[in-house]
Amino acid sequence: MSRPRIAVIGAGWAGLAASIELAPVGEVVVFEAGREAGGRARRVRDDSESLDNGQHILIGAYRECLRLMRCVGSDPERSLQRLPLSWYQADGLRMACPSLPAPWHLVLGLLRADGLSWGEKYHLARALGTLRRSGWQVAEDGTVSGWLRRERQPEALLERFWRPLVLSALNTPLEIASMRILATVLRDSLGGSRADSDLLLPRGDLSALFPDPACAWLREHGAELRFGHRVDSLETVEGGVRVEGERFDAAIVAVAPYHALALIGEEAMPAGVKDLSFWPIYTVYLRFARPVRLPRAMTGLAHGTVHWMFSRADGLFAAVISAPDAATLPSRTALVAAVVADARRVDPGLPEPLWSRVVVEKRATFAAVPGRIRPPARTGLPQVYLAGDWVDSPYPATLEGAVRSGVGAADALRQDWDS
Ligand SMILES: Cc1cc2nc3c(=O)[nH]c(=O)nc-3n(C[C@H](O)[C@H](O)[C@H](O)COP(=O)(O)OP(=O)(O)OC[C@H]3O[C@@H](n4cnc5c(N)ncnc54)[C@H](O)[C@@H]3O)c2cc1C
């Protein structure tokens, strides 16, 4: 069987995953507009500092991410800090799950939780039990807030548990967030084994975690990586495609939906893709003369500007603000001051920061709303496939969704090539 020549457009986690799957069976050329791989989950250099474009969290259930990391020689046991599931808001709900088999880790964690009354614990356990019994599925997709109303969840529970959970898991406010997508996240994190629910925090930067070793592995396996190369033209021709005038047997378009639409046109895409909306994520990085003393590696605030704070192994402090209404956020200077004030609520003696940086990802994730169009890997064009966190998947915009979509596109391409 001949080896197909394949163009992969986009070297985010989806494009890298597709390339890794295809490099052993084809001649892979990766086109990436940026100077480095990693897309929305990568290192960004800032003078002397090496930051990420945003603090990321993985969970034990990210099987395909972990599998591909191992495949390219990145050892997740060393590169990720594994923590048992916990939820620690300094001024709100505090819950830690003990090392017991599922679901007992969750049951005991919930029973011992601080910040919820016994009545609220009962209501939360009942709602999670309902979901568990239905196989973590909802018959009809609707908003999370509609589902919570039907489950008679008390207002205090909405504010202390569900709202911050939905914001951090889906980066979408619960009034408009999809219950079906949330149920998938809960199934993976709470419905599997205890290890599935573990939180995995990168010890170093995001590029070192996967994109850098993936690129090295791809080169070793004969793939060609073209950075700083934005693809502007893709056309189908008899038995193949032309990418920037160069002939390939097939192409995987692993870019964000608005870039994919520009490349392959609306006709080849299901209606609705062009109407997708997005939410931003702000990450505020600070460096102090000493590490910030957080009570937990991942510490939240129920009533603050910041949603979650991380004191990173490299001495940096990262504060995440999910899906903010950009119109209500203060100027950058005022935002940094608000984040410092939030940090001092958990570490009162904290000095003034030596350095600060605000990283804004305006279109960090698609809005995980009910009835979203998730196109399949196969497009309306022969030999052209889609990958990306927004392509057919039950997940919100996550690293795992992106990697699975890349593996899925590679599978579809291989099947078509072999048939
Ligand atoms: C701040 C932030 C925080 C996040 N936190 C988490 C988290 O905690 N956990 C989690 O699981 N997920 C998180 N996510 C989501 C996760 O980062 C994304 O779902 C994932 O990185 C998307 O990968 P992708 O490959 O689908 O797309 P992208 O990363 O967008 O990759 C697309 C690539 O294509 C390139 N490209 C675009 N057009 C062209 C063109 N015409 N020619 C060539 N190249 C092109 C782009 O430069 C880019 O490198 C977060 C995202 C952000 C932004």
pTM for this entry: 0.95
Angle at 225 between CA 49 and CA 247, to 5 degrees: 150
**Whether residue 54 has its Cβ less than 6 Å from ligand 1:** yes
Quick one: which atom of ligand 1 is closest to the CA of 31? Answer: 43
* Structure confidence at residue 27 (pLDDT): 97
- The verdict on the CB of residue 397 being under 6 Å from ligand 1 is yes
pLDDT at 183 over 80: yes
**Is residue 231 lining ligand 1, measured as CB closer than 6 Å?**
yes
pLDDT at residue number 410:
98
Whether 167 and 323 have beta carbons less than 8 Å apart is answered as: yes
For ligand 1, the distance from its centroid to the CA atom of residue 142, given in whole angstroms, is 26
Whole-number pLDDT of residue 330: 85
Instruction: Indicate whether residue 300 lines ligand 1 (CB < 6 A).
Output: no
Q: How far is C-alpha 104 from the chain's CA centre?
A: 27
Q: What is residue 355's predicted lDDT score, i.e. its pLDDT?
A: 92
- Which residues lie below 8 Å from residue 100, measured CB to CB, with a gap of 6+? 108, 194
**More reliable by pLDDT, 127 or 103:** 127
Residue 392 phi, psi (nearest 5): -30, 115
Does the pLDDT value for residue 177 go beyond 90? yes
Condensed to tens digits (0 to 9), the pLDDT of residues 310-354 reads 987 667 899 999 988 877 888 899 999 999 999 999 999 999 999
The response to whether residue 16 sits with its C-beta less than 6 Å from ligand 1 reads no
**Does the pLDDT value for residue 223 go beyond 70?**
yes
Tens of pLDDT along 378-410?
998 999 999 999 998 888 999 999 999 999 999
Sorting pLDDT into bands at 50, 70 and 90, what band is 111? confident
pLDDT confidence of residue 313: 65
Residue 321, ligand 1, Cβ within 6 A: no
Distance CA 74, CA 106 (A): 30
- pLDDT band at 110; cut points 50, 70, 90: confident
Distance 74 CA to ligand 1 centre (A): 20
Residue 178: the pLDDT is: 96
Task: Tell me the pLDDT of the chain averaged across its residues.
Answer: 92
For residue 70, pLDDT beyond 80 = yes
**What's the average model confidence in pLDDT over 164-191?**
92
**Nearest atom in ligand 1 to 229's CA:** 43
Fold agreement between 5-50+61-70+204-276+372-418 and 278-366: no
Output the furthest CA–CA distance in the chain (Å, rounded).
Answer: 69
- Ligand 1 atom closest to the Cα of residue 402 is 26
How is domain 278-366 classified at the CATH fold level? Polyamine Oxidase; Chain A, domain 2 (3.90.660)
* Pocket-testing residue among 57, 398, 407, ligand 1, by greatest number of atoms within 8 A of Cβ: 398
Reply yes or no on whether the pLDDT at 411 is more than 70.
yes
CATH topology assigned to domain 85-195: protoporphyrinogen ix oxidase, domain 3 (1.10.3110)
364 pLDDT tier (thresholds 50, 70, 90): very high
pLDDT at 48 > cutoff 70: yes
Judge whether 359 and 302 are in contact, CB under 8 Å.
Answer: no
How much distance in Å is there from the Cα of 35 to the middle of ligand 1?
A: 14
Mean pLDDT of 364-373: 90
Q: Do the beta carbons of residue 169 and residue 396 sit within 8 Å?
A: yes
256 CA to middle of ligand 1, Å?
7
The finding on whether 360 has its CB within 6 A of some atom of ligand 1 is no
pLDDT of residue 1: 58
What does the block give as tokens for 152? 């008679």
Where exactly are the structural domains of the chain? 5-50+61-70+204-276+372-418, 85-195, 278-366
409 lines ligand 1 (CB under 6 A): no
* Homologous superfamily, domain 5-50+61-70+204-276+372-418: FAD/NAD(P)-binding domain (3.50.50.60)
Output the residue whose Cα is nearest ligand 1's atom 13.
398
Q: Which amino acid is at 155?
A: E
**Best residue among 40, 42, 167, 226 to mutate for probing ligand 1, ranked by most atoms within 8 Å of CB:** 40
**3-state SS of the chain?**
CCCCEEEEECCCHHHHHHHHHHCCCCEEEEEECCCCCCCCCCEEEECCEEEECCCCCEECCCHHHHHHHHHCCCCHHHHEEEECCEEEECCCCEEECCCCCCCHHHHHHHHHCECCCHHHHHHHHHHHHHHHHCCCCCCCCCEHHHHHHHCCCCHHHHHHHHHHHHHHHHCCCCCCCEHHHHHHHHHHHHCCCCHHHCEEEECCCHHHHCHHHHHHHHHHCCCEEEECCCCCCEEEECCEEEECCEEECEEEECCCHHHHHHHHCHHHCCCCHHHCCEEEEEEEEEECCCCCCCCCCEEECCCCCCCEEEECCCCCEEEEEECCCHHHCCCHHHHHHHHHHHHHHHCCCCCCCCEEEEEEEEEEEECCCCCCCCCCCECCCCCEEECCCCCCCCCCCCHHHHHHHHHHHHHHHHHHHHC
Crossing angle of helices 399-418 and 13-22, in 10° steps, is 30
Parallel, antiparallel, or unpaired for β 43-46 and 49-52?
Answer: antiparallel
pLDDT for 232-291, tens place per residue? 999 999 999 999 999 999 999 999 999 999 999 988 887 778 888 999 999 999 999 899
